[in-house]
């Protein structure tokens, strides 16, 4: 499948998009009663990299509650090979990533999303993590932001680790709290950013993500 087939960068919300979004919102309102604050921190236009904490497979769905924008995201490449599901994912804003590898094509796709002025979800921790604190992050989020001029918005989410812990087959009805932090500007410098500059911005993001996570735990 070509990159053009994967990337359907249409910010309009189709009937399928609204159907899935409304179904998930209704279901999650019943099961998890999400409390969200800080939605005003996500710009309504321009390139935005939404950077949530990652403690559960449920985390992604709660981004439906934080912005009226259509948000693009990566999904496992194998899912796009499933009939019907693959085309549905594309309409929902997904593009493929190969898990466990340095997928340069996925990174290029992420940059294309942001260069087109859209919003992108990217978990800066990479895979799911555990514990009450944010460990050192991968530098991918800030690297992509620096190349595209995207604003980065940290999002703390608490309760999902109890709602659907690792290994659980079915979710539990646990209240979930979401805190959207203040936006972080990308690097402003000419040419290719240095590794040290990216590392500094990544640490800035880690601290901001830690703050939003701790705030969500207090709610």
| pLDDT given for residue 80 in this prediction | 79
Q: Does residue 193 register a pLDDT over 80?
A: no
Q: How far is residue 40's CA from residue 44's CA, in Å, rounded to a whole number?
A: 9
Closest CA to 51 of 146, 132, 147, 119: 119
pLDDT tens per residue, range 16-49:
889 988 888 899 999 999 999 999 999 999 999 9
| pLDDT given for residue 5 in this prediction | 43
| CB count in 10 Å sphere of residue 167 | 5
Q: How far is residue 137's CA from residue 52's CA, in Å, rounded to a whole number?
A: 12
Range of weakest confidence among 5-14, 24-33, 111-120, 199-208: 5-14
CA distance to 12, 142, 193, per residue, from 16 (Å): 11, 32, 40
- Cβ atoms of residues 135 and 129 within 8 Å: yes
Q: How confident is the model over 100-116, as a mean pLDDT? A: 80
| pLDDT given for residue 100 in this prediction | 59
| pLDDT given for residue 20 in this prediction | 86
pLDDT tens per residue, range 138-182:
898 999 999 999 999 999 999 999 999 888 888 999 999 999 999
- Cβ atoms of residues 197 and 189 within 8 Å: yes
3-state DSSP helix/strand/coil percent for the chain, to nearest 5?
40, 15, 40
pTM (2 d.p.): 0.88
Query: Burial letters for 42-52: b for 16+ Cβ neighbours within 10 Å, e otherwise?
Result: beeeebbbbbb
């Amino acid at each position: 499948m070509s990159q053009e087939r994967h990337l359907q960068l249409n910010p309009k919300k189709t009937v399928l998009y609204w159907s899935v979004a409304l179904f998930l919102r209704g279901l999650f309102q019943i099961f998890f009663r999400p409390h969200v604050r800080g939605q005003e921190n996500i710009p309504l236009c321009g390139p935005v990299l939404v950077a949530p904490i990652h403690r559960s497979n449920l985390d992604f769905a709660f981004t439906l509650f934080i912005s009226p924008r259509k948000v693009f995201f990566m999904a496992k490449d194998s899912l796009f090979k499933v009939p019907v599901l693959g085309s549905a994912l594309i309409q929902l804003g997904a593009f493929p990533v190969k898990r466990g590898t340095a997928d340069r094509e996925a990174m290029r796709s992420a940059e294309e999303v942001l260069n087109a002025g859209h919003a992108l979800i990217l978990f800066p921790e990479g895979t799911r993590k555990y514990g009450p604190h944010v460990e050192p992050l991968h530098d991918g989020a800030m690297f992509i932001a620096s190349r595209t001029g995207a604003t980065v918005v940290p999002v703390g989410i608490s309760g999902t680790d109890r709602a659907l812990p690792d290994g659980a087959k079915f979710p539990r009805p646990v209240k979930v709290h979401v805190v959207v932090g203040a936006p972080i500007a990308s690097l402003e410098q000419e040419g290719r950013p240095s590794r040290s500059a990216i590392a500094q911005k990544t640490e800035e993001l880690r601290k901001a993500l830690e703050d939003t996570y701790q705030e969500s735990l207090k709610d």
